[in-house]
Amino acid sequence: MSRKRIWIVLWGVILTLVVSCGNASDTTKPTSEEPVIPEFNVPLQDVAAVIILGAEGNETEMTNPDDLQTFINFINTAYHAESPGAVTEVGYRNVIIKLKDGTAKTLIFGGYGSYFVVSDTNFSYFLQPGQSVDALRDLIDRIEAKECGEGK
């Protein structure tokens, strides 16, 4: 009789293991990795120069420290990121940010400044809800007008 009990217990343990392993594999769902969307941040102290490429191909450098700070603060805080390739139409202005380490970031603005694409990553950054593009456009227009006025 004790042999019969051992077989019953052994079969019970085997059956429990088979059922629990089967349930574990049924509840495990494959994970889907979402792309990591980087926040855009350029520390002001790392900036060597900011150059605006105008619609006519002219280049204007931001030289006023207050203008530089305003521009960097605006692009660092007013925009949120989207996946690469979210925008295909650009054409307002290109801005080259030259860094002190010798590298550069090219921002391709579109929608009259309502978004930009970072050329080397192709990530798109859009204005946050409630943010106005007028301040950015006014800054760029003022800097370009000042440059044109000096050249006359």
Write out pLDDT tens, residues 72-106: 998 988 788 777 666 766 678 999 999 999 999 99
> Which is more confidently placed, 24 or 3?
3
Mean pLDDT of 2-15: 63
User: Distance between terminal CA atoms of the chain?
Assistant: 112
pTM of the model: 0.70
Identify the residue whose tokens are 């105008």. Answer: 54
CB 38 within 8 A of CB 3: no
69 secondary structure, DSSP code = H
- With CA atoms as reference, report the closest residue to 140 among 93, 102, 72: 93
Burial class (CB in 10 A: 0-12, 13-18, 19+), 70: middle
